Amino acid sequence: MAKILEVKDLHISFRTNNGTVKAVRGINFTLNRGETLAVGGESGSGQSVTARAIMGILAGNALVESGEIFYDGKDLMKISEEDFHQLRGNRVSMIFQDPFSSLNPIMKIGQQLTEAMILNGKANQKEARQEYNRIMDVLAAGLEEAAGSKGKENLEILKKSIAKSAELLQAYSAAHDAIEALISNIDASLIDALDGDPKAVSKDIKEIIKMAPEAKHEHLVSDDKALQEAISGLKAANAAFASKSDRDGVRTALEKLKALLVSAMALEKPDYFSIAYCQLNGQIAAGNGPVTAMNEAAKASMEQNFLGAFRQNVAAAIKLSADRSAGLKAEATKLMEAKLPLFRAENTPPAELQAAAKELMAAVEKSIDRLAVTKDSMAHTFGTGLTSTLDAYLELRKLYEKKNLSKKQRAAKENADLDLYRGNVERVISRLYEHYSCCGEMTEAECLRQADALFARLNELAFKMVYRVTKQIAKKHAIDLMQEVGISEARKRYYQYPFQFSGGMRQRIVIAIALSANPDILICDEPTTALDVTIQAQILDLINKLKAERGLSVIFITHDLGVVANMADHIAVMYAGKIVEQGTVDEVFYEPAHPYTWALLASMPDLDTKEKLGAIPGTPPNMINPPVGDAFAARNQYAMQIDFEEQPPMFEITPTHWAATWLLHPDAPKAEPPRIVTDRIKRMRERMEVSGHE
């Protein structure tokens, strides 16, 4: 199973007037691609704080003491603000318990959806431009070195081809987008024309007529005469509809236009990179004709006259850059070896540490291979990671060295562990060290492959720079999304305000907004708690459906584990800022090992009878001064002396099942889960088996 998100040793506190609240105390978990991880626990156990840390939206008084959150090889805790915005907006989305609070009450639903898309599009444009310029600068320098002035000349040709290609592709995709929007509008009108309100039908058709010319493009709807005929036909039919309410006539005319559009959508996409080159250089393949033949001819011509030789130049530049980077990495590695003892020692003077960090950062920065198509994110985030962990460590050391501490400072000192902070600094360095020790040399073939990947990347960026999300296409996507999340009459509801939606429907809208950026990970923080039971089941079904269809990975936070029985792959049970048990859904449900999990399972409402076996006695501990041993000890009827004295480690039960309870120690007396829980689990299992065979 491929990991998509990995949380390591996360510690988060909050500064408050009463002291430091230790909300998350060393959490580790992994989310696998395409799976659902349920996180369960009582209110206050640190679930939302963990989710917010992943999203980068912690409250202002939060302090991330240590920890790493890896997504796509990047540590989310250490990347730049800008990168984070990109990730948070695009790759990871979150929905909350109360859908009302995530919606703007005075803005129409449709606008809220399209606004998110248009904003996102603008951010993408800006980011693409920066990245494009950066790569081009490095490539220019590399080519100059690898191929002299010829390399420079060729780079100019490449730049022009890419710019022209982006322009061509932009025109093509504008027409393509218009066709998509038109087909979707026609489909809606076809249904409406059967028995819809004549005025509304007529208005929609006028809109279609107005937009239809945008479908014209030499590689899409190229037959202008046919298009004009279809448009005039529709105009005439619409007039006949108004005077004689001829619904059939309208439908026939709509179908005719649709057929034209659908056949255009089936055409092959032109290879604009090659075509642009050929057009600029007065070669063949500029005009119409079957796209396959045109693509082949253009590609062959570009290859022969330009790219074949230039690719060798670029590959040479890539090789130079990679080799130089490898040499610099080896130097940086040596420097890390030399400096690590300073960071390990307890008493290195701060100025010396700072100087060493600066030296390391410069060496690493210099060693990054700027032409590598896949970013070396660990090296990229090294600087910010080292600075922030070192600052935190030195700050704390000052407190330890100072004599007369204020009450606040004393509390801060008591609450933070100097060794942990020093270890954080060391870890940032050793992780990169390991990463650098395993890099091999690039082969010739690999360099050529990288050259092609670089061309593709540059083309993609150039297109992103010119692509605009138009209102029309944003509207079409918004309506598609509304339909995808199960909102009927989406076209009508597009123009309504949040208060016109029921709670369940509002949550669907919030999900649609979360999906609008096409995320990989969806974090659901008690998304159904505010809804009644039937609606709750519908939203769960929806999340499951979206997960399957879009290949989403889901983190599902809930106070009621019963909710996730049928949808989770893995479960993590949280208590007082720690994960006390984790395993597959079967392991946690049928063989729970931690007394807290037993209590939690007993306290969930029975799905059939709605009866609760019993609330968990007592209350969660005060997180300003969390208990020394097992935080659950005071509420745990199975607690032993050691539970009050020492924090239990995570005991491995199976390779996928872990629990932190002294009951799993070989010397502990054998304790069984309460009968009431096992009975209930047995019943639940039988019922699930029955429903599983339906």
Residue 648 CA to residue 656 CA, distance in Å, equals 18
Identified binder of ligand ADP from the candidate list 94, 510, 623, 639, rule CB under 6 A: 623
* 507 binding Mg ion? (CB under 5 A): no
Nearer to ligand ADP, 448 or 624 (CB): 624
Nearer to ligand ADP, 33 or 559 (CB): 559
The dihedral region occupied by 470, where left means phi > 0, alpha psi between -120 and 50, and beta the remainder, is: beta
Identified binder of ligand ADP from the candidate list 4, 7, 38, 49, rule CB under 6 A: 49
**Region 169-208 residues binding ligand ADP, contact defined as CB under 6 A:** none
* 23 binding ligand ADP? (CB under 6 A): yes
16 interface partner picked from Mg ion, ligand ADP, none, CB below 5 to 8 A per type: ligand ADP
The nearest distance, CB 99 to ligand ADP, in angstroms, is 17
* 622 binding ligand ADP? (CB under 6 A): no
Q: Which residue has 């004689």 as its token pair?
A: 244
Q: Please, which residues have CB within 8 angstroms of residue 398's CB and are 6 or more apart in sequence?
A: none
393 interface partner picked from ligand ADP, Mg ion, none, CB below 5 to 8 A per type: none
CB atoms within 10 A of CB 194: 10
Please state, in angstroms and as integers, the Cα–Cα distance from residue 383 to each residue in 65, 427, 498, following that order. Answer: 18, 13, 44
14 interface partner picked from ligand ADP, Mg ion, none, CB below 5 to 8 A per type: ligand ADP
Identified binder of ligand ADP from the candidate list 2, 17, 18, 43, rule CB under 6 A: 43
450 interface partner picked from Mg ion, ligand ADP, none, CB below 5 to 8 A per type: none
Nearest to 556 by CA among 576, 577, 536: 536
Q: In sequence order, which ranges of 368-443 are alpha helices (DSSP H)?
A: 377-380, 382-401, 407-415, 418-437
Q: Which residue has 């009968």 as its token pair?
A: 675
Which amino acid is residue 304, in one-letter code? Q
* 367 binding Mg ion? (CB under 5 A): no
Nearer to ligand ADP, 44 or 592 (CB): 44
Task: Give the number of residues in contact with ligand ADP, rule: CB under 6 A.
Answer: 15
44 interface partner picked from ligand ADP, Mg ion, none, CB below 5 to 8 A per type: ligand ADP
Nearer to Mg ion, 46 or 674 (CB): 46
* 48 binding ligand ADP? (CB under 6 A): yes
Query: Strands 570-575 and 36-40, how do they pair?
Result: parallel
* 46 binding ligand ADP? (CB under 6 A): yes
* 63 φ, ψ (degrees, to nearest 5): -130, 115
Residues 54-83: x where in contact with ligand ADP by CB under 6 A, - otherwise, as a string: -----x-x----------------------
* 558 binding Mg ion? (CB under 5 A): no
45 interface partner picked from Mg ion, ligand ADP, none, CB below 5 to 8 A per type: ligand ADP
Helix (H) or strand (E) holding 521: strand 521-525
* 619 binding ligand ADP? (CB under 6 A): no
The nearest distance, CB 574 to ligand ADP, in angstroms, is 7
Nearer to ligand ADP, 59 or 690 (CB): 59
- SS3 call for 4: strand
Residue 360 CA to residue 344 CA, distance in Å, equals 15
* 20 binding ligand ADP? (CB under 6 A): no
Q: What angle do CA 70, 73, 76 make, to 5 degrees?
A: 40
Residue 570 CA to residue 581 CA, distance in Å, equals 11
Stretch that binds ligand ADP, among 46-54, 293-301, 341-349, 515-523 (CB under 6 A): 46-54
* 283 binding Mg ion? (CB under 5 A): no
Query: Strands 36-40 and 553-558, how do they pair?
Result: parallel
CB 482 within 8 A of CB 113: yes
* 412 binding ligand ADP? (CB under 6 A): no
* 47 binding ligand ADP? (CB under 6 A): yes
Long-range contacts of residues 172-175, Cβ cutoff 8 Å, at least 24 apart:
172/217, 172/219, 172/220, 172/269, 172/270, 172/272, 173/463, 173/467, 174/214, 174/470, 175/214, 175/215, 175/216, 175/217, 175/220, 175/221
Residue 364 CA to residue 379 CA, distance in Å, equals 7
Residue number of the CB atom closest to Mg ion: 48
CB atoms within 10 A of CB 303: 15
Identified binder of Mg ion from the candidate list 45, 48, 283, 384, rule CB under 5 A: 48
Nearer to ligand ADP, 96 or 662 (CB): 96
Nearest to 661 by CA among 582, 584, 602: 582
* 161 binding Mg ion? (CB under 5 A): no
* 45 binding Mg ion? (CB under 5 A): no
Q: Which positions touch ligand ADP (CB under 6 A)?
A: 14, 16, 21, 23, 41, 43-49, 59, 61, 623
Q: Which residues bind Mg ion (CB under 5 A)?
A: 48
